[in-house]
Amino acid sequence: MRRALALYLLAAAAPAAAATFLATSVEEAARSSEVVARARVVSATARLTRDGRRVVTDVELAVLDAWKGAPEPTVRLVVPGGSTGRIAMWVDAAPTFEPGEEVVVFLSREGAGWRVKGLAQGKFRVDGLDARPALAEAAVLPRALAAGERAIGTMPVAELERRVRAAR
């Protein structure tokens, strides 16, 4: 009995996985987004919200190619979290952006700006010929996807584009 209790307490004390997502297909993400674009990060600037209680990052993207929708040449979005120099806030599963980084983003309107749809599932970093979502520390729970659809994960950029453009 004591051994079982000790094992339970040890397991309960273990750190939890960062974020947990239900498996989503690229096609589902594309269908639920207003815009899917390949872009270059121009700037990423963290700031405190007006009430001073949270940190958000303003991101400016130069659109290189729109795979879905018709965005302006420059897209501005806000993501939760960031570091202002004096205050930092990390938000589990929020995507991060670095100036100069090439990305593929799945976006939805939020007021006058945009937001990344699906948090870390909605931002892929272009790394050579591959596109990689920031899901390394996330737990992705399996579920059945529609026939022929592919779960969000690392894949060639060309395949990601083909799947987004073909999503209906």
pLDDT of 9 > 90? The answer is no
Give me the domains of the chain, ranges plus CATH numbers.
16-166 (2.40.50.140)
Query: pLDDT at position 106, please?
Result: 97
Identify the weakest region by mean pLDDT among 65-74, 85-94, 123-132, 159-168.
Answer: 85-94
Does the predicted TM-score (pTM) go above 0.75? Answer: yes
pLDDT of 158 > 80? The answer is yes
pLDDT of 15 > 60? The answer is no
What's the pLDDT tens digit per position in 58-115?
999 999 999 999 999 999 999 999 999 888 888 888 899 999 999 999 999 988 889 9
Q: What is the 3-state secondary structure (H, E, C) of the chain?
A: CHHHHHHHHHHHHCCCCCCEEECCEHHHHHHCCCEEEEEEEEEEEEEECCCCCCEEEEEEEEEEEEEECCCCCEEEEEEECEECCCCEECCCCCCCCCCCCEEEEEEEEECCEEEECCHHHHEEEEECCEEEECCCCCEEECCCCCCCCCECCCEEHHHHHHHHHHCC
Query: pLDDT at position 18, please?
Result: 67
Q: Please, which pLDDT band fits residue 5 given cuts at 50, 70 and 90?
A: very low
